[in-house]
Amino acid sequence: MTAQPDRRRLLLVLLFLTVVINYMDRMNVSVAAAAIREDLEISTEAMGFVFSAFFIPYAILQIPGGLVTDFIKTRILYPILMVGWSLATVFQGFANSLAVLIGARGVIGAFEAPTYPINNKIVTDWFPKDERASAISIYTSGQFLGLAFLSPILFAIQEYFGWRGLMVITGLVGIVWAAVWYFLYPKEKPPLQDDTILENKSDNSIVDSKALNPKSLAVAFVHPKLWGLYIGQFCLGTTTIFFLTWFPSYLTDYRGLTLIKSGFFASAPFIAAFFGVLLSGYASDRMVKKGISPEVARKGPVLLGMALSTIIIAANFTDNTTLIIIFMAIAFFGNGLASIAWVFVSLLAPRQNVGLVGGVFNAFGALSAVVTPIVIGFIVTEDSFAPALFYIGAAALIGFLCYVFLIGKVEEIKVESA
C-alpha cells in the first residue's frame, strides 16, 4: 500500500492534463469563431448551432457512456476515445461548409461523452472518500488553469497559422497524449473497488448483475436527491458553457476588444475559476476530516459558488472593461467553487451504479451545453448581450435552490437487491 500515494499522484497528473487537452479541443472553435464565421459566411444564429453541435451527441451518449465505464478497462477505453476526438479535431481544419463543421463537432462530442464518468470512476476507485473532493478539484481545475494559459496561446496559433492550422495542431496534441496515457496508467486493479461489484476480478471485467437489474437502474431516474443534483448540474453548466463558447465573442463583438487583448482578458476569469475549484476541494475535504457534516462541508462550497455566479448580471450595468472582467472573474470563481459537484455522484449514488448516475449527471450538464449556446444566439441582439447575462445569472440562482431544497441530507441512496 505504500506505493498507492505515488500512483494517486500520477493519476491526478494524468487526469489534469487530459482535462486540459479535452477542453482545449472544446474551446478551439470558440477562439476561432470570428474567423470561421467570416471564412464560411456563418451567421450568429448558425454559430450558436456550431457551438451546440458538440454537446448534442455528448449529452445523448452520457448514459451509454456511463455504462461503458463500468464495463471496459479504463487504460484501454480512454486512449481510444482520445484518438477518436483528436482525429475529428484535425478534420475540422479541413471543413469547407457549415454542415461539415457541425458534423466534425458532433463526432468530437460523441468520443468525449464518457470522459467525465471515467474521471469520476477513477477517483471513486483509487481515492478514499475524504480525499475525493480534493482529487476532483485538482483534475477539474485543468479546464480552468489550462484554458487560462492556453487562451493566449490558442489566439497566437490562430494568428500565425489561421483557424485551420489551430484545429490541426490541437488535434495532433491529443493523439500524442493518448499514447502517453496508455503507457503511464497503472495496470493493476484499483484498490478501492467494491468487492460486491467486481468480486476480485481485473479492471476490465464485467460488472455483476446487481449493477444492471431494473430496480437498480431505475433509481437513477426516480430519486428526488438525484434530480436535484441533475438540475443543479444543468444550471452550473450554463455558466461554464458561456465561458467556453460565447465569452470570446462577447469580448470582441460586444465590448470592442482586439483579438490579442481578448486573449489576455479571457484568461482572468479562468484563473479565478482555477483558484475557486482548488479552494473548494481542499476546504471541503479539510472540513470532512474535522468531522463537519457533509451538508456543510460538501454543499457549502457549491451553494456559495452558485450565489457568486449570479454576479455576472452586474456586467450589464457598466461599460468599464476592468469592472466587466472583475464581475466575470467573480462569477467564474463561483463556478469553480461549485465545480466539486461531481463529489455528490460518489456520495449519493448507489455504489454499483456510480457510472450510470455519473452519466445521467453529466448528461444534464451536457444538455445545458446544447441549450445555452443556441439560446444565447437567439436572445442577443446586434448591439446588446444583456439578455444572455440575465439568463446565465437566473440559471445560477435556480441551481442554488435545487441544492437547498431537493438534495437535502447528503447520504448514499440504498438499493434493495432484486
What domains are defined for the chain? 4-407 (1.20.1250.20)
Residue 54 CA to residue 74 CA, distance in Å, equals 23
Largest CA distance in the chain: 61
Write down the pLDDT at residue 323.
Answer: 93
Where does the pLDDT of residue 47 fall: very low under 50, low under 70, confident under 90, or very high at 90 and above? confident
Q: Model-level pTM greater than 0.95?
A: no
Amino acid at site 47:
M
Residue 168 CA to residue 159 CA, distance in Å, equals 14
Write down the pLDDT at residue 360.
Answer: 84
CA angle 165, 377, 397 (to 5 degrees): 115
Task: Let me know if 187 is exposed, middle or buried by CB neighbors in 10 A (0-12, 13-18, 19+).
Answer: exposed
CA angle 96, 244, 273 (to 5 degrees): 160
CA end-to-end span of the chain, whole Å? Answer: 35
Q: Which of 284, 311, 303 is nearest to 401 (CA)?
A: 303
Residue 395 CA to residue 400 CA, distance in Å, equals 9
**Residue 210 reports pLDDT greater than 90:** no
**Residue 122 reports pLDDT greater than 90:** no
What is the average per-residue pLDDT within 249-271?
76
Say what percent of the chain tops pLDDT 90: 32
Residue with cell 482520445: 82
